[in-house]
Amino acid sequence: MRDDQVPTPTAEPTGAGPVDADPAEADPATRDPRARRPGRRIPASRAAAGGALATAGLLLASLNLRPAITSLGSLLEEVRVGLGLSGTVAGLLTSLPALCFAAFGLAAPRMARRWGPAVVVASGTALITAGLVLRPLADSTAPFLLASAVTLAGIALSNIMMPVVVKRYFPERVGSMTGLYSMGLSAGTALAAGLTVPVAEAFGGNWRAGLWVWAVPALAAALLWPAIARADRAGRIGRTGGEGRPGAGTGRDGGTARDGGTDAAPAAAPLRITRSRTAWGLAAFMGLQSTAAYVTMGWLPQIFRDAGTSAATAGLLLACVMTVSVPMAFVLPALAARSSSQGRFAVVLGLCGLSGYAGLWTAPAAAPWLWALLLGLSNSAFPLALTMIGMRARSSAGVVRLSAFAQSTGYLISFPGPILIGALYQRTGGWDLPIALMAALMVPQIGAGLLAGRNRHVEDEALPRGGA
């Protein structure tokens, strides 16, 4: 058995389990008398149907986590003119996602303890749909910002829950299923970036139609997740280990299966997540890679255009960055989950980022496709971070707390990044200093990845002595 694979203790009820000292706020599944029976078998046909339903829900939810952001970025100038937004408000829109992700993500753990992760994702997809339907109807700044906040609140809730859903429903396949939803997230990002403008042009240049179209896949996810929540409550999914049988042991790609359909949660002791060095390392890694991603999405085309590249080519270069991350999002989590330490992957991705920024700084027009490729590889740090969230906690309860802390804190760290880069560009009139700053931030990102990638569990660091 590899040293990153920990056998699952028995005698814990099914579900997310307690996160704080209050057992009454445990996952509703723990209050289901049927779920309390250890070793309860599920018929193979029901287990397969439940697994297929959860897989479809995971993929569909992940596809809807970024189109609301990248579709707006593609039509930001048209929206600004159409609504009469000031330059300050338009700039705020580019940083609003990180702020909302941090703020609304803090509510996810308590909601998950009260209603379960499936209900939280169902609520999140409903909010995404509502915001995407209402946003194009806005005829002034305030309603547009409000509808955007509704959408981003739903994305924040679903963002936090994705690692939890993987841990709960696919405990023996953390790496491969993290790869699946990371790939879905990257694909949704790339599709929205590439199709929003053509859709708007097909409707006579109507930016409202370009934004509205992304409510359709969001609605599909919003209709599917209530069914997943009902199946979860009925015990048809998320109750078995590998191969549809209780107590299947350790998974094939680094996940830890549950014994008798249970989570490997410690006793009902408080989990002080802020005491964990691993949690802080993950938060820093998440924040720094998010900074790089938002700067890339917001400013990379302008960097290439200022270097003499045409606007069309600059857009294709950004699409290249996003497209590279699609296969990487599927492959990297599976590889990382099989490794005893994920720090080596953080180092390689960080070196790719350093090389890409070095190319942009010295000769941006000399080999733009190579720089785009390197930055696309570097941006694959996001699925790596999600994989580590799923592996650095023993239970789905621990993953809830770790995911909320790492992502909320990380997005707070990333919030000033795009604004600062824009201010430096405006003040200096060039890209040398902004690019040098982004390259410099790769160094602490590598260090944070090494800290977060160690073979540790937050329960070992964040529980009080004698609490486990």
pLDDT above 50 for 20: no
Q: What's 213's DSSP letter?
A: T
Q: Which amino acid is at 240?
A: T
Q: CB-based burial of residue 304 (10 Å sphere; 0-12 exposed, 13-18 middle, 19+ buried)?
A: buried
* pLDDT band, very low/low/confident/very high, at 305 (cuts 50, 70, 90): confident
- For the record, the structure tokens of 64 come out as 């809807």
Q: Which residue has the higher pLDDT, 67 or 38?
A: 67
What are the tens digits of pLDDT across the range 236-252?
Answer: 775 443 333 333 333 43
CA 56 to chain centre: 17
Q: Which residue has the higher pLDDT, 128 or 96?
A: 128
Of 413, 404, 402, residue with least CA distance to 452: 402
pLDDT of residue 450: 95
Query: Does residue 351 contact residue 298 with C-beta atoms inside 8 Å?
Result: no
- Look-up: residue for tokens 């294709």? 316
- For the record, the structure tokens of 212 come out as 């509205």
pLDDT above 90 for 128: yes
- Look-up: residue for tokens 């909601």? 111
Of 463, 22, 25, 26, residue with least CA distance to 272: 463
CA distances from residue 271 to 29, 101, 319, 392 in whole angstroms, order as listed: 20, 22, 41, 13
- For the record, the structure tokens of 180 come out as 């699946």
pLDDT above 70 for 227: yes
If you average pLDDT over residues 401-425, what whole number do you get? 84
CA distance 69 to 193: 9
If you average pLDDT over residues 412-437, what whole number do you get? 85
If you average pLDDT over residues 279-286, what whole number do you get? 94
CATH 1.20.1250.20 placement within the chain: 42-232, 267-468
Query: Does residue 242 contact residue 416 with C-beta atoms inside 8 Å?
Result: no
pLDDT above 50 for 396: yes
pLDDT above 80 for 131: yes
Q: Which residue has the higher pLDDT, 37 or 12?
A: 37
CA distance 257 to 242: 6
CA distance 304 to 289: 21
CA distance 121 to 162: 8
- Give phi and psi for 357, each to the nearest 5: -70, -35
CA distances from residue 226 to 107, 122, 222, 442 in whole angstroms, order as listed: 19, 6, 7, 41
CA distances from residue 324 to 292, 332, 375, 379 in whole angstroms, order as listed: 15, 12, 9, 9
What percentage of residues in the chain have a pLDDT greater than 70? 78
Q: Is domain 42-232 annotated with CATH 1.10.1050.10?
A: no
CA distance 165 to 415: 26
SS3 content of the chain, % helix, strand, coil (to 5): 75, 0, 25
CA distance 104 to 82: 28
* pLDDT band, very low/low/confident/very high, at 48 (cuts 50, 70, 90): low
DSSP string, 128-196: HHHHHHHGGG--SHHHHHHHHHHHHHHHHHHHHHHHHHHHHH-TT-HHHHHHHHHHHHHHHHHHHHHHH
pLDDT above 70 for 206: yes
| CATH number for the domain formed by residue range(s) 267-468 | 1.20.1250.20
- R_g of the chain, CA atoms, integer Å: 22
Mean pLDDT of the chain: 78
DSSP string, 287-335: HHHHHHHHHHHHHHHHHHHHTT--HHHHHHHHHHHHHHHHHHHHHHHHH
* pLDDT band, very low/low/confident/very high, at 110 (cuts 50, 70, 90): confident
- For the record, the structure tokens of 314 come out as 């600059």
pLDDT of residue 146: 92
Give the CA angle between residues 464, 465, 468 to the nearest 5°. Answer: 80
